[in-house]
Amino acid sequence: MSKPRHPRGETAPKAIILPVGPRFVNRKLAFAPCLRPPLEYAPGVIDDVPLDELLQEVWDGRRINAAEAVRLYHLPLEDLGALADRRRQLLKAPAYAGRGNDIVTYIVDRNVNYTNVCNVYCKFCAFYRVEGDDDAYVVTHEEMDRKIEETLAQGGTQILMQGGHHPKLTLQWYLDLLSHIKAKFPQVNIHGFSPSEFIHFREVFQLPLEEIISQFVRAGLGSIPGGGGEILVDRVRQRISPLKARSDDWLEVMAVAHRLGLNSSATMMFGHVETLEDRIEHLGRVRAQQDETKGFTAFISWTFQAEHTKLRAPTVGAHEYLRTQALSRIFLDNVPNIQSSWVTQGPEIGQIALKYGANDLGSIMIEENVVSQAGATFRMTVPDMHRLISDLGYEPRQRDNWYQLVN
Ligand code: SF4
């Protein structure tokens, strides 16, 4: 049997823009225009591998480097999407007893933000309040019970529990909350506390990360969300969240958690002050971490939402979102799942993203408080999810945090 060929085959254009220096400036533009200015500087990019050869190797599943990622990013969107879809198919073929390419998954869970009090003041955040604000809050056990009961009534299996970096909540407060939830709702997974929260805990509680995470696990923590990843490049973090955990901190928490047996997701928030190279560096750091500790179950990227925040940047549209998500599927060859972000892009683009490398539509998010305060107000029900997935020819299946099918 002959080897499958990339569909563009010999018809792929021979010229691709590589905006790296004078010797390329007169070359024919072969990529579709994207919404942000093209790169003016792409260190290390060379074009001595013919484009067809690169496309075929990506089609066959070969790992790409940063320079190749820049080339792929500038492909016509539909070509990049076809490559991402191919890589999704290669990765998911063995899943679900060989039905991994027939199925698109989703989870039913609820975001519970246990407090909105935070002393980190990220410029992209419209959620935080300071102590004393009229609408500052810390969730009570009774409120938490009600939220979880509502989640269970809708078939939910998990709460995604994150909060601000509250300066006064004690270690015992967190342990009591986790123990309370686990005792009352043992069937519910607590997917909680992003790496930047753990870095905050380390500073406030003056304990090693291993000790804090171990105590949280004993009290009921089941897995860790990848929140606070933003862009794992400190020059970018310094501009958008100067008081927040640095890139190495974020990765250190994940490494410790993975070594303690916890799984986590990895995330990226883009479309603000970062460059394409920064996004690719972010992907490179996630991939390197995954090579080492193998604990990331999924990668989720979304676009910065500017409303009510201090950070000003032109809104990233669907074109650039799809491009970036597709590239993440190709680059992160060791991360088994990619979630599309209907929450920031809307249900239709979230659906289309399933043809751009994503195999999961995320959560129906019974409650969401963070990006909604920054302007993203899309909503979704389980029937909506089923329709979006079925209309694309896939079988919709509910999953748990570990991508095991439920029901
Ligand atoms: S993003 Fe998180 S850490 Fe930053 S200000 Fe908002 S609540 Fe605080």
DSSP string, 252-287: HHHHHHHHTT--EEEEEEESSS--HHHHHHHHHHHH
402: number of Cβ within 10 Å: 11
Residues 364, 144, 196: CA angle, nearest 5 degrees? 75
As a whole number of angstroms, the distance between CA 64 and CA 57 comes to: 9
357: number of Cβ within 10 Å: 28
As a whole number of angstroms, the distance between CA 294 and CA 10 comes to: 37
Are residues 333 and 87 in contact, defined by beta-carbon separation less than 8 angstroms? Answer: yes
197 CA to centre of ligand 1 in angstroms = 9
pLDDT value, residue 378? 75
- Residue ranges covered by each domain of the chain: 9-75, 103-398
Q: Is this prediction's pTM over 0.85?
A: yes
Which residue's CA is the nearest one to ligand 1's atom 1? 125
- Best residue among 111, 112, 122, 304 to mutate for probing ligand 1's pocket (most ligand atoms within 8 Å of CB) is 122
Which residue's CA is the nearest one to ligand 1's atom 4? 122
404 CA to centre of ligand 1 in angstroms = 31
As a whole number of angstroms, the distance between CA 141 and CA 138 comes to: 10
Q: How many CA atoms lie within 13 A of 28 on its CB side?
A: 4
178 CA to centre of ligand 1 in angstroms = 21
Burial category of 391 from C-beta neighbours within 10 Å (exposed 0-12, middle 13-18, buried 19 and up)? exposed
389 CA to centre of ligand 1 in angstroms = 32
Q: Show the ligand 1 pocket: residues with CB < 6 angstroms.
A: 118, 120-122, 125, 127-128, 164-165, 196, 241, 244
8: number of Cβ within 10 Å: 18
Round to the nearest angstrom and report the end-to-end CA distance of the chain. Answer: 39
What top-level class would CATH report for the domain 103-398? alpha beta
199: left (phi over 0), alpha (psi -120 to 50) or beta: alpha
118 CA to centre of ligand 1 in angstroms = 6
Neighbouring residues of 355: CB distance < 8 A, sequence distance ≥ 6: 81, 85, 392
| CA proximity to 58, closest of 293, 351, 357 | 357
| CA proximity to 281, closest of 272, 293, 268 | 268
DSSP string, 363-393: E--S---SGGGGT------HHHHHHHHHHTT
- Best residue among 112, 115, 120 to mutate for probing ligand 1's pocket (most ligand atoms within 8 Å of CB) is 120
Tens of each residue's pLDDT in the chain, 407 residues = 445 555 543 333 333 333 332 222 222 223 323 333 333 334 444 456 899 999 999 999 999 999 999 999 999 999 999 999 999 999 999 999 999 999 999 999 999 999 999 999 988 888 999 999 999 999 999 999 999 999 999 999 999 999 999 999 999 999 999 999 999 999 999 999 999 999 999 999 999 999 999 999 999 999 999 999 999 999 999 999 999 999 999 999 999 999 999 999 999 999 999 999 999 999 999 999 999 999 999 999 999 988 778 888 888 899 999 999 999 999 999 999 999 999 888 999 999 999 999 999 999 877 766 666 666 667 788 999 999 999 999 999 999 999 999 97
How many Å is the maximal CA-CA distance in the chain? 70
